[in-house]
Structure 1
Amino acid sequence: MNTHQAQDFPQILAHIEEQKRMLRNAQSQAGQRPARKIERIETIRRFNVTRMSGQRNLQSDLSISFIPSPYAPCAQPFCDLKKIMVDDLVLETHHRGTFLLVRVVTPQDRITAVMAIVEDERGEVLLLQLYHQVETTEDILVPGRVLIIRDPYLKLTADGKHGLRVDHVSDIVFLPVHEDRIPACWRSEVTNPQNQSAGFWKAKGNDCFGQSRYHAAIEYYTSALASSPTTEECHTIKLNRSLAFLKTNHFDAALADVDSMLSDSSAKSNEKALFRKAQALYSLQRYRECCEVLKTLRLKYPDNTAAKDKLNEAVNRLAEQTTGKYRFKKLHAEAAHLRPPQLDHATHIGPVGVRQSESRGRGLFTTKAVKAGDLLFCEKAFVYAFHEGEGMSSNSRLMMNLLIDVNANSFTTGAQPELITMLVQKLYQNPSLASIVKDLHRGSYSPVQGVFDIIDGKPVIDSFLLTRILLINSFGCRLSGKAGPLKQANGQPINVNNFNDLFPSLGIWTFASHINHSCTSNAFRSFIGDMMILRANQDLPANAEVTIQYLNPFNPERQQVFVKNWAFACDCVMCQDNEQTSDAVVAKRKRLGESLQSMLRLLTRRGSSSSGAGSIASLVRKSSALIAEMEGTYNKPAKEVPRLVVWKGYRDFACALTLGAGANPQKIVELSLRALRSLGFVIEGGSLGTNQGLVVREWGFIGDGLLDCWMCLKAAYVETRSYELALAAEGYAKVCYKILFGEDETFGELD
């Protein structure tokens, strides 16, 4: 995740300074009662006017979310909380150990939060703002709905007024209509449970389900179960509710409903219950258990064709999970057509495992020796936010979504706000998954005791903890590595220093989050949709720590970014060499590189015609001299420290000759081999006319342009009819392709 410093962006800094001013004003009023109470009718009127007018700062494409000062969620059971009223609230205060009972009195509005006006039992009204609520076709705040707010927080709003703010989803409790905690004065004849039966509530739930109002259906089914249903009614209601839970991604709850049915030998709906259980297990990626349930279902009900199809799917996922064998062309096709490109495929963990690293916390280590190109894992994202717009300029993307951390004077761009809500909701809906996330690196953030514990049947969720985990552990990603180079709207290539800056799409891959960084990494990640593929980019022994590049190593400021984003200083050989290299040498390399590129542009233009052979030879000599001078600026051998500037020079030189008419294959081979060796490749043979063959003894640095270099080499061998060398070069190109793009099934589709 790339975090930008606000001082580098005046327009963002202005937003931060204004937010700081409002925060200072708010803090100065902490503990005070609101200065002026606005009449109930006027409060409701103003809210409805704003909601209906749609004037919600939509004058531009800029969407801003602020990370507020962190505060802990309520981790006490309801029985230990004391009831208070709106008049008891004071500003900028978390009323710990209390709860507020309110009823919604207006339709909801949504900007970055879901908002409505609520009232307490005395009719006192306030604005309520709920954060991290997923967008659905159903409103969650509807007039008449009764809520409990744990540890209520009365906050000054941006317009100088005040309202209730809830950042933790576990701090809000939506009361079903049957709840005896709903005051009698808020019950109508319809909602009074004393006047209704289980069948009545079940029918209302079925009506809502038929209208795709699945959250409302769940509430009615819950009321039905609390209304003394018969055993048969209970089974039917749980079966219906389990399907509504599946529709709303509450897989743990769906599993609990069907398991309680299946434990009852008198249940008559075992066929549907077994299928629902299989669906829940499949969605939780528990494929082996899913297969076992479906096998039982098939034995008992052999005519169930849906079970047969689902079993085939589950068997395929289990095979992927256990063998790591994927049909990558199929994955590409799915990613190209699905929006969002969330693929129905399993995670495979290969010969790697998580364990303690020497000085960098936990890391990923090989469990056996692997070869360059071997699959280390293929992981499906835990949460994934896809945004169209690859190829946007940095400024255009900047104006899409901003997540601003006022305390750190920094901001991130892209899909972060959406992804935070996805992460919060997934763990709240499925607490069995918390163990996968809760131990990920969180920096210095210390959550309150009790986070993720189940209290009153729901997990305690700390949205600030999850925000911190996301900011440290998420990866920016492309739809596919095969999409080609990104370009700006004007057609020019995007020149970026940070891998994550390229991509507005974002995800968390929890297993991959354990990988530590090195600029000279020994593994390379690629993406197909929401699947991350990691392959070794060199031969590794057992028990070797696996590393990836967090940032592009061409970024001259990467050390500062490491410290700001991840609180570490990189001590790889490349960073150490950079520290020991004087500014004068860096400037000389830059000057030589610019001169070389000017020469190569001339070489490409003149090489495209059949004339000017003497001029071409002169350009080749001058270009060779410039690269030789570049080589002289390095002290350590390339096998120890990759020479990235020299590599680029040799590679571009070889490509320029390949593109030109009357190219010199001998020179192209020489330049290509030198380019590879400048990256630390240890290569035996490869020269024309020596009959030594071509063998890579050790793989070097893997980066952009490497595949082009191998293909230039192959073309030169073919030109000289050195077919065995061409075949060897193509084999190494294929391994390189597999490392860079995650697979080699589409290697033959290269232009």
Structure 2
Amino acid sequence: MNTLQAQDFPQILERIENQKRMLRNAQSHAGQRPARKNDRVETIIRFNIARTAGLQSRQYEPGLSRTSMSFIPPPYAPCAQPFCELKKSMFNDLVLETHHRGTYLLVRVVTPQDRMTAVMAIVEDEKGEVLLLQLYHQAEMTEDVLVPGKVLIVKDPYLKLTADGRHGLRVDHVSDVVFLPAHDERVPFFWHSELTTPQHKSADFWKTKGNDCFGRAKYQAALEHYTRALVSSPTTEECHTINLNRSLAYLKTNSFDAALVDANSVLEDANGKTKEKALFRKAQALYSLQRYRECCDVLKALRLEYPDNASAKAKLNEAASRLAEQTSGKYHFKKLHAEAVRLRPPQLDHATYTGPVEVRQSGSRGRGLFTTKAVKAGDLLFCEKAFVYAFHEIEGTSGDGRLMTNLLIDANANSFTSGAQPELITMLVQKLYQNPSLASAVKDLHRGSYSPIQGVFDIIDENPVIDSFLLTRILLLNSFGCRLPEKAGALKPPVGLDRLDDLFPSLGVWALASHMNHSCLSNAFRSFIGDMMIVRATEDLPANAEITIQYLNPFNPQRQQKYIKNWAFACDCAMCEEDDRTSDVVVAKRNTLGKSLEQLHRLLTRHRGSSGAAKAASLIRKSSAVLAELEGTYSRPAEEVPRLALWVGYRDLACALTVTGAGLGSNSQKVIDIGLKALRCLGFVLDGGSLGTKQRLVVKKWGYMGAGLIDCWICLKTAYANTGSHELALAAQGYAKVCYRIQLGEDETFGEED
């Protein structure tokens, strides 16, 4: 994922400097008591006025595109102590800009919540003092997180100066706040409402209330009522029913680990219809956790004992399909495309396939991904479903074409990222908090210099300890930007240098893919269909070869500097070494010649048919002369270092001749010569290809997988066909198909028009 430097964007740099000033001002008050106590009435009124104004603004201007800026605060560790070791504090015990380690606050919500980058409400302590509470990384839900009367525990409270010079509680780690159920013995008696008084109510009463909330899609409230029912002396049969209902509510809130626990508790001694439901709930949880083999085993047992269960039959078919994908790597890619077009967000219900690859140590590069057997160019290495994925349509861009509607800013590094990062961080935090069994997939991913405390991800007081700053760092260093898939379609007019965006509005974390190290001269290529990443080999590889991909666009002139800043390494591939050796004068000359070629090729596309033949011939001669001059700027063989600017020039000339029809008939030989030169500029080693007695075209060594490579092969195929060289045309078409498979992930749609 690309990080941008703030000095290139004056408005953002100004915001960063303002943020730094506020942080310095806040730190100057560290350890001090607030200047004055918050007035209860004034604080509540002020909050409600601001909340109402915000709601009205969002209601009357829902489609207005705004720039949202989120700042990464100075990191601090989550609380990793059990509750029994913490000491109670009150608001008047707190001092500013201090993490009160080893303590906790008991607070009650007194206002409705407001939500911006954080969920906010005014809370009171047991003495009636009030503070603003800000909870970060809370999931978007149809029901409010903070509702009046709700009681919470805040661990290791942090009293923060706010932007308006006031003060409030800030909680960045979701595990540092505990939402107490109404019946919890830690809730003071005088905070009980009519419904939460400790007087006895039956399990059936709370189960009925839970069912009512579930029917209104108030799943968090339903979970609380079901939990209360379970501690209200239910019978064995009632306990089974409540656990089944709670399991379904957990499924609705993506808490699959908890849903599995409830289903298993019922299966310990249930039978009949209850057992049938419990088996199905268990299968649903296993399916959502992508444990497809176990899911199939449970559903087979369910089908065997309850053969008339139609839902189980349908779910078994789904799970069997996922298991087949997981084990064989065989996907119906046309169906994946159809799902990606239909779904918003395009999160596909498909399994991850781990092919002939495994994670190993890669010397100073840390861990890497290696082949376990020899593979051919175009072979599928793996196909991975995103661990978390945030989809954003491109709605607004700045004047320079970069997406600027959602920014995550690191004031310490004077840098920012653009797109769905804030949303994705919350998704990652919530997924691991709700399903701690999944932590092993991402907790050991590259985190740079960040060192978490001991105990992160441990289960304490029945919940995992989550470090949101660790997960933010992991996400920033391991996420991938992705586009919606595009088919290659018909040949398009030349466009000059590859204008590949380094920024994408949609982002995801693919844990296995994150182990691939970088090389500008990579040997693998990634593509996307929705939230499925497809990685294929771009050349023939032996067993035990390290798989590499490009982290950034090779046409980016500052890629070396950005690698150092983002990932703390400098690429030492042949392409980067050649960049270091190439003078600025030569680079400037290549850029100038490249622009001249781009203009000539655009002019060439305007002269179609016999009427423009003379002008086209003149343009071709001029283009050939510029290409010869451009070739003179290179010294090392293309087999060692791809000649990217020269490749683009030859490729675009071949495309221009083919698109305009100038490549037909007598000019087909010219297209063939130009197309073969273009391929050799990428380091391809070819046997045959020229017209003559040897009708063969064999790629002996695959070259750099440049954008537009499919078009180049199609140009060759067209020219061969025009000369009656059908065997060569078939060979060129075959290689075009392999390149299509590599660059678009599949070849089922090869040859189809957009």
What band does the TM-score fall into relative to the shorter chain?
A: over 0.9
Would you say 1:37 and 2:34 are equivalent positions?
no
Deviation digits for residues 243-281 of structure 1, max 9, x if unmatched? Answer: 000000000000011111112256861000000000000
For residue 195 of structure 1, give the secondary structure of its aligned residue in structure 2: coil
Task: Tell me how far apart the structure 2 counterparts of residues 341 and 654 of structure 1 sit (CA, whole Å).
Answer: 36
Listed one character per residue, the Cα deviations across residues 279-334 of structure 1 (whole Å, up to 9, x for unaligned) are 00000000000000000000110000000000000000000000000000000000
Residue 387 of structure 2 corresponds to residue 382 of structure 1: yes
Out of 68, 92, 102, the residue aligned to residue 97 of structure 2 is 92
Structure 1 SS opposite 2:561? helix
Q: In the superposition, relative to structure 1, how do residues 365 and 595 fare at CA in structure 2: closer, same or farther (>3 Å)?
A: same
Match of 1:604 in 2: 605
Distance 2:668 2:152 in 1: 77
Question: Any residues of structure 2 matched to 1:473-484 within 5 Å, and which?
Answer: 473-482=478-487
Q: Distance in 2 between matches of 1:305 and 1:10?
A: 61
Deviation at 1:654, TM superposition (A): 1.1
In structure 1, give the amino acid aligned to 2:734.
G
In 2, distance between residues paired with 1:102 and 1:506? 36
> What are the Cα deviations for residues 568-590 of structure 1, in whole angstroms up to 9, with x where unaligned?
10101100011111222222222
Say which is worse superposed, 19-28 or 423-432, in terms of deviation. 19-28
Q: Percent identity?
A: 74
- The 1:389–1:496 alpha-carbon spacing in structure 2 relative to 1, beyond 3 Å, is farther
Q: Structure 1 residue 22: deviation in Å? A: 1.0
Q: Would you say the 8 A contact 1:321–1:349 is kept in 2?
A: yes
Contact persistence 2:355–2:381 (CA under 8 A): yes
Residues in 2 aligned to 1:382 and 1:554: alpha-carbon distance in whole angstroms: 30
CA distance in structure 2 between the partners assigned to 1:268 and 1:55 by the alignment: 47
TM alignment of 1:689-728, pairs within 5 A: 689-728=692-731
Q: Secondary structure at the match of 2:70?
A: strand
Q: How does 1:662-701 map to 2 (within 5 A)?
A: 662-663=662-663, 664-701=667-704
RMSD over aligned CA atoms reads 2.0
1:270 maps to 275
SS at match of 1:568: coil
Letter in 1 for 2:654: A
SS state at 1:524 partner: strand
Provide the residue aligned with 1:648 in structure 2: 648
Moved more, 588-597 or 201-210: 588-597
Of 238, 242, 248, the residue aligned with 1:243 is: 248
Hey, what's the Cα distance between the residues in 2 that align with 1:590 and 1:387?
A: 34
* Amino acid paired to 2:744: F
Q: Residues 394 and 403 of structure 2 are in contact (CA less than 8 Å); yes or no, is this contact kept in structure 1?
A: no
Report the Cα offset of residue 233 of structure 1: 1.4
User: Where in structure 2 are the equivalents of 1:527-546 lying within 5 Å?
Assistant: 527-546=528-547
Shift of 1:634: 1.4
Tell whether 2:584 aligns with 1:583.
yes
- C-alpha deviations, 1:4-39, integer Å up to 9, x for none? 111111110111111111111111111111111232
Which of 712, 737, 742 does residue 740 from structure 2 map onto?
Answer: 737
- Does residue 281 of structure 1 match 2:286? yes
Tell me, in whole angstroms, the C-alpha distance in 2 between the residues paired with 1:382 and 1:615: 55
Report if the CA contact (8 A) 1:100-1:152 is conserved.
Answer: yes
- Counterpart AA for 2:579: N
CA distance in 1, matches of 2:561, 2:197: 62
Q: CA deviation at 1:388?
A: 1.1
Select the residue among 154, 166, 173 that pairs with 2:171: 166
Cα offset, 1:42, TM superposition: 1.2
Preserved contact between residue 589 and residue 633 of structure 1 (Cα < 8 Å) = yes
In structure 2, which of residues 180, 184, 200 is the aligned counterpart of residue 175 of structure 1?
Answer: 180
Displacement of 1:610: 1.6
Deviates more, 1:42-51 or 1:666-675: 42-51
In the TM superposition, what is the alpha-carbon distance from 1:661 to its structure 2 partner? 4.0
Matched, 1:417 2:422: yes
Q: Distance in 1 between matches of 2:234 and 2:514?
A: 47
AA paired with 2:530?
G
2: CA distance, partners of 1:609 / 1:697: 37
1:437 to 442, 455, 459: 442
Question: Which residue of the other structure, out of 133, 141, 144, is the alignment partner of 1:139?
Answer: 144
Kindly provide the CA deviation profile for residues 444-495 of structure 1, in whole angstroms up to 9, marking residues without a partner as x.
000011000000000000000000000000000012133889x9xxxx9898
| 1:481–1:528 contact (8 Å) kept in structure 2 | no
Which runs of no fewer than 5 residues in structure 1 stay unpaired? none
Q: 1:551 to 1:396 in 2, by over 3 A?
A: closer
Q: Please give the alpha-carbon distance, in whole angstroms, between the structure 1 residues aligned to 2:263 and 2:501.
A: 45
Q: Distance in 1 between matches of 2:454 and 2:318?
A: 41
One of 337, 355, 361 as aligned partner of 1:350: 355
What is the TM-score of this pair, normalised by structure 2?
0.96
| SS at structure 1 position matched to 2:131 | strand
* Separation (CA, whole Å) in 2 of partners of 1:296 and 1:27: 61
Alignment partner of 2:154 out of 134, 149, 155: 149
Contact 1:65–1:404 under 8 Å retained in 2: yes
Offset at 1:691? 2.3
Equivalent-residue separation in structure 2 for 1:461 and 1:577 (angstroms): 44
Where does residue 8 of structure 1 map in the other structure? 8
Return the offset for 1:229. Answer: 1.6
Q: Residues 461 and 57 of structure 1: is their aligned pair in 2 closer, same or farther, counting only changes over 3 Å?
A: farther
User: TM-score, normalising length from structure 1?
Assistant: 0.96
Contact 2:132–2:167, Cα closer than 8 Å, also in 1: yes
Name which of 71, 74, 77 aligns with 1:69: 74
Q: Partners of 1:549 and 1:673 in 2: how far apart?
A: 25
Query: Match for 1:524: what amino acid?
Result: F
Residues 193 and 227 of structure 1 are in contact (CA less than 8 Å); yes or no, is this contact kept in structure 2?
no
Is the Cα contact below 8 Å between 2:498 and 2:707 reproduced in 1?
Answer: no
Q: For each residue in 1:534-575, what CA deviation from the matched residue of structure 2 results, as whole angstroms up to 9, or x when unmatched? A: 000111010001011111111111001101111110101100
Deviation at 1:402, TM superposition (A): 0.9
Q: Determine if contact 1:644/1:679 at 8 Å carries over to the other structure.
A: yes
Which one-letter code corresponds to 2:140 in the other structure?
A: E
CA distance in 1, matches of 2:184, 2:659: 76
What residue in structure 1 maps to residue 258 of structure 2?
A: 253
1:190 Cα deviation from its structure 2 partner: 1.9
Taking the aligned partners of 2:649 and 2:402, their CA distance within structure 1 comes to 32
Contact 1:369–1:539 (CA under 8 A) maintained in structure 2? yes
Q: What are the within-5 Å matches in structure 2 for residues 49-128 of structure 1?
A: 49-54=49-54, 61-128=66-133
* Alignment of 1:563 onto 2:568: no
The structure-2 alpha-carbon separation of the partners of 1:381 and 1:265, relative to structure 1 and needing over 3 Å to count, comes to same
CA–CA distance in 2 between the matches of 1:723 and 1:510? Answer: 45
1:22 and 2:16 matched: no
1:178 CA drift (Å)? 1.1
Closer/same/farther in 2, CA of residues 661 and 276 from structure 1, 3 Å limit: closer
Which residue of 217, 221, 239 corresponds with 1:212? 217
**1:396–1:153 Cα change, 3 Å:** farther
1:379 partner SS: strand
Tell me, what secondary structure is at the counterpart of 1:533? Answer: strand
CA–CA separation in structure 2 for the residues paired with 1:597 and 1:40: 68
**How far did residue 414 of structure 1 move?**
0.6
- Conserved 8 A contact 1:481-1:526: no
Task: Name the SS of the counterpart of 2:278 in structure 1.
Answer: helix
| Residue range with higher mean Cα deviation, 660-669 or 13-22 | 660-669
How many residue pairs get aligned? The number is 745
Distance 2:42 2:495 in 1: 55
Q: What secondary structure is seen at the aligned counterpart in 2 of 1:65? A: strand
Does structure 2 conserve the Cα–Cα contact (< 8 Å) formed by 1:390 and 1:478?
Answer: no
Correspondence list, 1:490-569, <5 A:
499-501=501-503, 503-569=504-570
Q: Match of 2:61?
A: none
Structure 1 match to 2:622: 622
Aligned 8 A contact 1:324 1:350 in 2? yes
Q: Is the 8 A contact 1:523 1:548 kept in 2?
A: yes
